[in-house]
Structure 1
Amino acid sequence: MYENRDPYEGEPRKKDSFARRAGRVAAGAVLFGAVAGTVMVGVNEAAARLWGDPYAGTVQESQTAAPEELPPVAPPPAARSGPETDVTAIVEKAMPSVVAITSMTRYQSRSFGFGWFFGGGQTYEVPGSGSGIIIGENDTELLIVTNNHVVENTSSLMVTFVDDESVEAAVKGTDASLDLAVIAVPLENISEDTKSKISFAELGDSDALKVGQGVIAIGNALGYGQSVTVGYVSALNREVRVSETSTMSLIQTDAAINPGNSGGALLNMQGQVIGINAAKYSSAEVEGMGYAIPISQAKEILDRLTTHRTEREVEEERRGYLGIQGTSVDAQSAVMFGMPEGVFVYKILEGGAAYGSGLKEKDIITKVDGQAVRSMEELQALLSYYEQGEEIELTVQTQVEGQYQEHTVTVTLGSMPESGQ
């Protein structure tokens, strides 16, 4: 859930101080790929911590009667549009293209607020929920679009179709900057009966939207299953800050978008997908401010993500390792130290995969094979899909005369040294 907050305010410290702080927590660090102990936490407690109280408010509806001396003035039902229209037919057509997503999401404890080294913190998992939209298929997979924040750092994903059949899914590609992801379900794992009941969504043109048009939101609200809400387009091209360092241009709507709706469909009154539900303004004083990613803005990214290879975790003994020690540069640290978000390379281990590759100490890794990396946890998760001997392309930022310059480095992943360092 996104929150609109004031930008972080503080006097930037010397950039080198980040390296010194990272050094103080370097002891005990191990290679990328080390597996931390996993424990489960209570669903209610985790949900409360992540989402807050889902029963924090109610919506009241009021009606105003027309004066008795005047006859009611209204167009014939067929000519009316907007949320007052019976949307049953639209929903019945669109619902088979929307899925519910359940996940287990990994979290790792941090040390001193400056990230962690692999193996340096304890990992735990919490259940999560979201929604997705079926956008097509290839020769072997059904393709579903959702939000990146629904699938990031997940250890498992399950997709539930309109007929309540659940099938395991895997991440195919993500774009954290636009909060988009494509997940895939093997066609061979979907029953013929379910295949006959699901459908592909019809994508519309969000550039043609106008403020005041009626819209319908479909999604897995609070993880209870598919639900429908109706509202209007409240604003277009609304710049919403999603972190201390980035904003997104979104559709604003008063159709209710709650936790679990993320990744679901925002439809126009022709049943076309014109937005991907993404966020709700988080404030006790504000209601009726939901946001969706415009589908016209997302199409080019989705075309690219659908061509990525599907990510499936490699068994630990065959998993590739990068051979570095590093720490996260999160959004707050990026503002504080004037650095890009990503993974700060504190040390390159002699004899490791990255040794001699062109990657340097104090570089900041921002992408792996084109996928954004904003934390150690994200880097660890991405590397778990690669085997020893595979090549990866790292996008890194190197400081040159006080300015960060971007370039790429190719690394052939290696095995984990026997020393575990």
Structure 2
Amino acid sequence: MSDFFNNDNSSNTEEQNNSGTYSYKKDEINQGESFYQWSPYDDGNRVKKKKTSTLGKKMGNAAAIAIVFGLVAGLAFQSIVAVTNRLWDLNDAKQPAIESTAEKDDTDKTVESTSTATGTTTSTKITTDVSEIAQNVLPAIVQVTNVGIKEYQTFFGTMQQPTQSAGSGIIVSQDDENIYIATNNHVVSGAETLTITFNDDQAVEGTIKGTDSSCDLAVVSVAVKDIPSETLSAIKVATLGDSDNTVVGEAAIVIGNAMGYGTSVTNGIISAMNREVSVQDEDGNVVTNSLIQTNAAVNPGNSGGALLNAKGEVIGIVSVKLAQENVEGMGYAIPISFATSIIQQMVDNDVVSELDASYLGIAGKDITSEMSEQYNVPVGVYVAQVVSGSGADEAGIEVEDVITGFNGRKVTSVNTLNNIMQYIAAGTTVDVTVARHDKDYEEETIKVTLTRRIDKVQ
């Protein structure tokens, strides 16, 4: 095990090429810069790599992933809704509203004017019209405009250029003070200012409430006092469904700010489940998630938007797409059943201060899926060092153990671990799942009391 990280990366090339994970570098994906504002000093490199699928079918010229974030309209465009025709088998009656991520017993925080977007049609006939679903859900979908600063190198040194990019968001919760909007981390990354545009074209400034780069999720809050009463009475909290019960072949609808032109609608089916897709975030961390695949059209600007079922329930948060001339209909969304608890944590908690930040007390290395197969150890965080006197040390975590779970979340990387811990204060006792190196990597769950930082471990 101690030899894991001493091997040349080239030795794993064959295993990676035969992996079921579609993996791409940061410079091979659209990170959200407006196509209208490309720097003349960008190298323009968008090389596509070759990968294979886990089902044994090789993908010739497999795609570069375009993080669906991108195109900004320099001016505000009027929202459009383009609903494509398709046969749908819809339920007979309206489905009862499923509560959003706000807890059921927290009724004192609910603003009475906010209804719930169910989007279920009353029609009992097979229909080519999905307008009722769209019209019911549109008030729960917003446009997110990110204004930031991009740095680039020139002959004269480092220069800065204002950038503007567009994405989407889903209203998932509301209390007396704020509306909470779920979106992608890459949609809000690097923002100097965020503008939230509601379905009636009313634009309000938003604030990043929390982010989790390890799963590309974020929550943006908008103060209720900043929202005009007419808009407040018209918006809806989205109905969150159960993606665990989603099956291949069922109807799918995508709603979001496609191309930065305003909110639009596309439809199709769920074409695959549990597709592992890897991209590199802005910090260079490789983010791998198990996503829902759909053939409903996904375009730049749809990031953070909703993937819906035929009941109008959100079953996924649109995140990425495969983009290549010979590839069509391969968009991906983060399953809502996975995302809900993470979103709720960001709604309920603030990032702890540096003074109160918790510290596990290890130096770790990522065990990727390729390394897991090669060395027959679990995916997770390999413990390369344990700091004496830390919570990890006191709990008995040892060098060469692998951390696979933390505080109820699956751990796949150091980045995941850090994102979980940013909301947990020092002194908190958490459950940590550890695969023991001296027990053939058999997992056990132990209690660890997190401490304050003792020493910075490289």
Q: Report the TM-score range of the alignment, normalised by the length of the smaller protein.
A: 0.5 to 0.7
The answer to whether structure 1 residue 387 and structure 2 residue 425 are counterparts is yes
Checking the alignment, whether the CA contact within 8 Å between 1:19 and 1:346 is kept in structure 2 is no
Matched residues, number: 332
Checking the alignment, whether the CA contact within 8 Å between 2:188 and 2:208 is kept in structure 1 is no
Once the two structures are TM-superposed, the CA of residue 394 in structure 1 deviates from its matched residue by 2.3
| 1:17 counterpart letter in structure 2 | D
TM-score normalized with structure 2 length:
0.56
The answer to whether structure 1 residue 171 and structure 2 residue 210 are counterparts is yes
**Do the aligned partners of residues 154 and 80 (structure 1) sit closer, same or farther apart at CA in structure 2, a change above 3 Å counting?**
same
Once the two structures are TM-superposed, the CA of residue 168 in structure 1 deviates from its matched residue by 1.0
Alignment of 1:95-134 (within 5 A): 95-101=138-144, 130-134=167-171
Higher relative contact order at CA 8 Å, sep ≥6: structure 1 or structure 2?
A: 1
For residues 190 and 372 of structure 2, what CA distance do their matches in structure 1 show? 24
Checking the alignment, whether the CA contact within 8 Å between 2:274 and 2:291 is kept in structure 1 is yes
Where does residue 32 of structure 1 map in the other structure? none
Pairwise CA RMSD of aligned residues?
4.8
The answer to whether structure 1 residue 263 and structure 2 residue 304 are counterparts is yes
The answer to whether structure 1 residue 232 and structure 2 residue 268 are counterparts is yes
SS of 2:383's equivalent in the other structure is strand
**Do the aligned partners of residues 330 and 99 (structure 1) sit closer, same or farther apart at CA in structure 2, a change above 3 Å counting?**
farther
The answer to whether structure 1 residue 18 and structure 2 residue 4 are counterparts is yes
Once the two structures are TM-superposed, the CA of residue 261 in structure 1 deviates from its matched residue by 1.8
Checking the alignment, whether the CA contact within 8 Å between 1:267 and 1:273 is kept in structure 2 is yes
Checking the alignment, whether the CA contact within 8 Å between 1:153 and 1:377 is kept in structure 2 is no
Q: Alignment partner for residue 217 of structure 1, among 250, 254, 264? A: 254
Checking the alignment, whether the CA contact within 8 Å between 2:401 and 2:441 is kept in structure 1 is no
Once the two structures are TM-superposed, the CA of residue 212 in structure 1 deviates from its matched residue by 8.3
SS of 1:136's equivalent in the other structure is strand
For residues 435 and 452 of structure 2, what CA distance do their matches in structure 1 show? 23
Aligned sequence identity (%): 26
**Do the aligned partners of residues 183 and 208 (structure 1) sit closer, same or farther apart at CA in structure 2, a change above 3 Å counting?**
closer
Q: Alignment partner for residue 365 of structure 1, among 403, 428, 431? A: 403
Once the two structures are TM-superposed, the CA of residue 165 in structure 1 deviates from its matched residue by 1.2
Once the two structures are TM-superposed, the CA of residue 370 in structure 1 deviates from its matched residue by 1.8
Once the two structures are TM-superposed, the CA of residue 97 in structure 1 deviates from its matched residue by 0.5
Q: Which segments of 5 or more consecutive residues in structure 2 lack a partner in the other structure?
A: 9-30, 47-64, 72-124, 149-162, 279-285
Alignment of 1:17-416 (within 5 A): 17-18=3-4, 43=33, 44=38, 45=42, 51=66, 81-82=127-128, 85=129, 87=131, 91-101=134-144, 130-138=167-175, 142-146=179-183, 150=186, 158=194, 160-162=196-198, 163-171=202-210, 183=219, 185=221, 190-193=226-229, 194-203=231-240, 211=249, 216-221=253-258, 224=260, 226-233=262-269, 235-238=270-273, 240-242=275-277, 248=290, 250=292, 252-253=294-295, 255-267=296-308, 271-273=312-314, 275-292=316-333, 298-299=336-337, 302=340, 306=344, 310-416=348-454
Once the two structures are TM-superposed, the CA of residue 412 in structure 1 deviates from its matched residue by 2.5
Higher alpha-carbon deviation: 180-189 or 323-332 = 180-189
Once the two structures are TM-superposed, the CA of residue 257 in structure 1 deviates from its matched residue by 0.8
Once the two structures are TM-superposed, the CA of residue 351 in structure 1 deviates from its matched residue by 2.6
For residues 32 and 167 of structure 2, what CA distance do their matches in structure 1 show? 19
Once the two structures are TM-superposed, the CA of residue 18 in structure 1 deviates from its matched residue by 1.4
TM-score normalized with structure 1 length:
0.60
SS of 1:354's equivalent in the other structure is helix
